[in-house]
Chains A and B, each alone.
Chain A
Amino acid sequence: MSAATLPATGGRELSNPPSDGISNLRFSNHSDLLLVSSWDRSLRLYDAGADALKGEFAHAGPVLDCCFHDDSSGFSACSDHMVRRFVFGSGKEDILGRHDAPVRCVEYSYATGQVITGSWDKTLKCWDPRGASGPDHALVGTYPQPERVYSLSLVGHRLVVATAGRHVNVYDLRNMSQPEQRRESSLKYQTRCVRCYPNGTGFALSSVEGRVAMEFFDLSEAAQAKKYAFKCHRKSEAGRDTVYPVNAIAFHPIYGTFATGGCDGYVNVWDGNNKKRLYQYSKYPTSIAALSFSRDGRQLAVASSYTFEEGDISHEPDTIFVRNFAGRTQLRSSCLLLRFRFVLDV
């Protein structure tokens, strides 16, 4: 089945987007709230369905990552080395803790109730948000990493950490004393993003070289045999490939298909099991900085924001698109729709 290109609507463009690059965006697990962190030093909360900015939380420096706790609060990772918690309604903010270098990633583990941060100070820290009264009380543990942390992903009890130097550490959250697995990225180039499969069997890892690797936690041969890597987000012209970094990976919560976004401005949707690309959305104005599926997988938030891969150049303005994601039920009805359309139009 050849990949199809859906009609050119990037989705609904959110109003009041950040004024500088978007570092990450996340749909809430409970609603259509969207949390967006940005280089304009703000953390914004949108109601994606209503296209409304619900809150904006200023920081001292560019905000490098964010995540929900629940619909009422969230966490931010800031370049000023701080990890903060925000209560959206009141705007109350408190510092959960600090690293020795900018905090690059933040995740909240529902399984353990802990906040996990990764920083360029080459450490992973776990925080207990309930003990957020003082900076040191929240810290649960600091776990040194071989290099600066570039990306984190959680599924169940598993934590995957990707660092500079293509290191990949797999942790069991129940035993953080040392990594469950110390791995090296199977891709030859710098890791951009790591995301765990929703089914918890493995993770996808993307690099700056237009490639994605599909890995599995099970180290048995049978399982490892299934792992593969594929090229994506590349442009071929005159026999030469231009490769683009793959900045974002997002898994559909239900189907297990996943979307990747690259510096080429495209979002591709893949069927990992069948090793097929399902479709490609038409090109976004600039690089795809972040992707996030809504809890039901019906919507996909796309951050079209220049990721500084070519340094300081002029670029398209930073925008957030929220598009409907064609799920199977939707496919079902849209197939019908199409069928009827054919009959009518042809």
Chain B
Amino acid sequence: MARNPNDRLPQVETTCESLLNELQVIWDELGESDAEKDKMLLELEQECLNVYRRKVDQVNLYRAQLRQQIADSEAEIAAICSSMGERPVHTRQSPGFLKEQLKATSLKLEEMHKRKSERMNQFLEVLDQIQKISTEICPTEYDPSKFAIDGSDLSIRILEDLQRQLQSLQKEKSERLRQVMDHLNTLKKMCIVVGIDFKETIREVQPGLDQDKGSKNISNSTIESLASAIENMRKIKIERMQKLQDLATAMLELWNLMDTPNEEQQQFQKVTCNIAASEQEFTEPNALSMDYINYVEAEVLRLEQLKASKLKELVLRKKTELEEIRRRTHLVAEADEPEFSIDAVEAGATDASLVLEHMEAQLSTAKEEAFSRKDILERVEKWLAACEEETWLEDYNRDENRYSAGRGAHLTLKRAEKARALVSKIPAMVDTLENKVTAWEKERGTEFIYDGAPLLSMLEEYITVSQEKEQERKRQRDQKKLQGQLTAEKEVLYGSKPSPAKLQSFKKTHKTLTLSPSQRISLGAAATHTPKKAYEVGTVSSGTRGIDNAGLSEKSSSNATATAAFETSSPSEDVKDTTKAMRVSTPKSPRKVAADGTGEGDATEYSFEERRLVFYLSRKRDEGAL
């Protein structure tokens, strides 16, 4: 009760007393017995007690309710504490007033609720982050049930667990991000070298990756895609690199073959210096771009075309040379020799180098033959020259005006004289020639062909013709003699006259010789050509020459222009088979390969008083000691 009952006490006491007095008075008047009075008093008491009891019960109930509330609150506090993994920290209030207790407990409960929700928020936050990062890392595998909050266990331990998980996820995320960035960087570098658009490439890998800003996708699929893109790019790079290196090799060979000047070579130094480089060494932008490779390829093509044209030239030259030799030696190309048309070579149908090789073979054969025929040919020329003189002489002899003195008459006379001497030698000449040819033919096992015709048969024919002519002459002489006789007789009888018929028949017989006019011409031409030539097969040229100079002597200045085209100032390289086909004769001084590969856990009982006395006495002793 708010009011201090003692305040009202005197007042009420008075009322009570007066009432009692009144009662006493009434009783007296009534004449109530003591028993009756007592009974009434007892009744009064009972009634009061009942009222009192009811009130007390009510208050008691209230108290019980309060206690229950307190107990409930405390239970709830304990429950929250346990769910948060904490020990119930609350101290049981010293039995003060229940109302105060209730207030304190409510406050505490509120606080606990607040803390629980704070803790819950912490959990939610961490889980949210975990979810975010999990989704980033593995968009498909996120399992929400793994990350549900267990309301009954919100302890710090679990929270720390989750926080550790979050940390490891964050670490993983940053690791993946680093990977992705690494891959992107690698890819970028590769793209730069290969000349492919980087942004386009990564857009193909995954759209959105090419954005500079924004979070990058770090899922497994992205990382794998990037890795495979890098692999692809590497393959491309290697492909191109190999192609470029092949081109460079070809280029070097061609330079070597054709003695390309340094200034020209300098332009492609970049390519050739990387000839044996590894994939990683290609770092220059566009070093492996298609444009650049095409550019190099074009150059190689150009060089090859140059080489082809040079080859063609060479073939032609060789052909000319062969023809010349044949002409000089009055050889005719074998019927079964394959004809190499220049057109075919030009068209690429026939390999020029092959042709050249064949040419060389033919040339060497021809030269060898020429050498063996030399002697006979000389004799044949002499013989033919003699025959010509013979013919001239015959003509001269037929000329009735030969003795007429005219301009150069003495020369002709001289010539006739020489001719007669020469003609007289002809049979011997022929004979020797025949022998030589036969011997030659025996040795060689083949007929001596002169301008397509067997020489022996020519000689035979000549002999036959000569014999016929001789016979004719003899006959004519005989006839003449006879006629002379007759004439003489006639002269004696009539006088003399020359016969034109003999001259004409002689010319005819001479014309039946199988010498073609062209051959005769060639003979004449051959006669004028300087025969002295050094046919050197397999010349060892001083200085290192790339292309075979067999047949092209250093000394022959007439070929100077030809060789000049093939001069290579730089020594050759260790080149591949194409050079072998050209029959490289000289052992090359080994050139240093330009693009060498320099290229992280009592028993005795005492009462309180006895103990107190002991303590008392010891304290007294201590105080006494001081």
By the criterion CB–CB under 8 Å, are A337 and B16 in contact?
Answer: yes
By the criterion CB–CB under 8 Å, are B51 and A338 in contact?
Answer: yes
Does A218 touch B at the CB level, under 8 Å?
no
Known contacts A1-B53, A341-B8; is-contact A39 B48 (Cβ 8 Å): no
Does B30 touch A at the CB level, under 8 Å?
no
Q: Name which of B133-141, B430-438, B581-589, B607-615 contacts chain A.
A: B607-615
Q: Which residues of B contact A79 (CB under 8 A)?
A: 613, 616
Instruction: Give a binary string over A85-126; 1 marks a CB under 8 Å from any B CB, 0 the rest.
Output: 000000000000000001010000000000000001000000
Does B421 touch A at the CB level, under 8 Å?
no
The bracket for how many chain B residues form the interface is 35 or more
By the criterion CB–CB under 8 Å, are A341 and B5 in contact?
Answer: yes
By the criterion CB–CB under 8 Å, are A39 and B60 in contact?
Answer: no
Q: Which residue of A lies closest to B19 (CB)?
A: A336
**Consensus secondary structure, chain B interface:** helix
By the criterion CB–CB under 8 Å, are A335 and B608 in contact?
Answer: no
Does B49 touch A at the CB level, under 8 Å?
yes
By the criterion CB–CB under 8 Å, are B95 and A336 in contact?
Answer: no
Known: A39-B616, A190-B605. 13 other contacts (CB 8 A): A1-B53, A4-B56, A7-B5, A21-B612, A39-B612, A64-B609, A164-B607, A165-B605, A308-B611, A332-B41, A337-B16, A340-B15, A340-B16
Instruction: Give a binary string over B403-437; 1 marks a CB under 8 Å from any A CB, 0 the rest.
Output: 00000000000000000000000000000000000
By the criterion CB–CB under 8 Å, are B13 and A164 in contact?
Answer: no
Q: Which residue of B lies closest to A120 (CB)?
A: B610
CB neighbors of B among A43-70 (8 A): 61-62, 64
State A245–B607 Cα separation when bound (angstroms).
11
Does A309 touch B at the CB level, under 8 Å?
yes
Q: Nearest Cβ in chain B — how far from A336, in angstroms?
A: 5
Does B1 touch A at the CB level, under 8 Å?
yes
State A338–B607 Cα separation when bound (angstroms).
44
By the criterion CB–CB under 8 Å, are B57 and A2 in contact?
Answer: yes
Q: Which residues of B contact A332 (CB under 8 A)?
A: 41, 45
Q: Which residues of B contact A192 (CB under 8 A)?
A: 607
14 pairs, A vs B, C-beta closer than 8 Å: A7-B5, A21-B612, A164-B605, A164-B607, A190-B605, A237-B92, A307-B608, A308-B608, A312-B615, A332-B45, A336-B44, A337-B16, A339-B48, A344-B12
Q: Which residues of A contact B60 (CB under 8 A)?
A: 2, 4
Q: Which of B13, B48, B612 contacts A308 (CB 8 A)?
A: B612
Chain B interfacial positions (CB closer than 8 Å to A): 1, 5, 8-9, 12-13, 15-16, 19-20, 41, 44-45, 47-49, 51-53, 55-57, 60, 92, 95, 605-613, 615-616
Q: Which residues of A contact B8 (CB under 8 A)?
A: 341
Does A199 touch B at the CB level, under 8 Å?
no
Q: Which residues of A contact B613 (CB under 8 A)?
A: 62, 79, 102
Shortest Cβ-Cβ A-B pairs, 5 listed: A335-B48, A308-B612, A308-B608, A339-B48, A307-B608
Q: Nearest Cβ in chain B — how far from A116, in angstroms?
A: 18
By the criterion CB–CB under 8 Å, are B13 and A337 in contact?
Answer: yes
State A333–B16 Cα separation when bound (angstroms).
8
Q: Which residues of B contact A39 (CB under 8 A)?
A: 612, 616
State A337–B1 Cα separation when bound (angstroms).
14
Chain A interfacial positions (CB closer than 8 Å to B): 1-2, 4, 7, 21, 23, 39, 61-62, 64, 79, 102, 104, 120, 148, 150, 164-165, 190, 192, 235, 237, 245, 283, 307-309, 311-312, 331-333, 335-342, 344-345
State A161–B73 Cα separation when bound (angstroms).
49
By the criterion CB–CB under 8 Å, are B47 and A190 in contact?
Answer: no
Q: Nearest Cβ in chain B — how far from A169, in angstroms?
A: 17
Q: Which residues of A contact B15 (CB under 8 A)?
A: 340
Q: Which residues of B contact A283 (CB under 8 A)?
A: 95
By CB atoms of chain A within 10 A, which of B606, B609, B613, B615 has the most? B609
Q: Which residues of B contact A307 (CB under 8 A)?
A: 608
Q: Which of A21, A104, A311, A342 contacts B55 (CB 8 A)?
A: A342
Q: Which residues of A contact B56 (CB under 8 A)?
A: 2, 4
Q: Which residue of A lies closest to B63 (CB)?
A: A5
Q: Which residues of B contact A164 (CB under 8 A)?
A: 605-607
Q: Nearest Cβ in chain B — how far from A92, in angstroms?
A: 27
Q: Which residue of A lies closest to B53 (CB)?
A: A1
Q: Which of B1, B605, B606, B608 contacts A245 (CB 8 A)?
A: B608
By the criterion CB–CB under 8 Å, are B92 and A338 in contact?
Answer: no
Q: Which residues of A contact B45 (CB under 8 A)?
A: 331-332, 335
State A200–B264 Cα separation when bound (angstroms).
143
By the criterion CB–CB under 8 Å, are A336 and B48 in contact?
Answer: yes
Q: Nearest Cβ in chain B — how far from A42, in angstroms?
A: 14
State A183–B610 Cα separation when bound (angstroms).
23
Q: Which residues of B contact A21 (CB under 8 A)?
A: 612
Q: Which residue of B lies closest to A310 (CB)?
A: B608
Q: Which residues of B contact A23 (CB under 8 A)?
A: 609
By the criterion CB–CB under 8 Å, are B611 and A311 in contact?
Answer: yes
State A62–B620 Cα separation when bound (angstroms).
12
Q: Which residues of A contact B612 (CB under 8 A)?
A: 21, 39, 62, 308
By the criterion CB–CB under 8 Å, are B608 and A309 in contact?
Answer: yes
Q: Which residues of A contact B13 (CB under 8 A)?
A: 337
Q: Nearest Cβ in chain A — how far from B42, in angstroms?
A: 9
Q: Which residues of B contact A333 (CB under 8 A)?
A: 16
Known contacts A336-B44, A339-B48; is-contact A190 B607 (Cβ 8 Å): yes
By CB atoms of chain B within 10 A, which of A21, A190, A340 has the most? A340
State A115–B356 Cα separation when bound (angstroms).
160
Q: Which residue of B lies closest to A7 (CB)?
A: B5
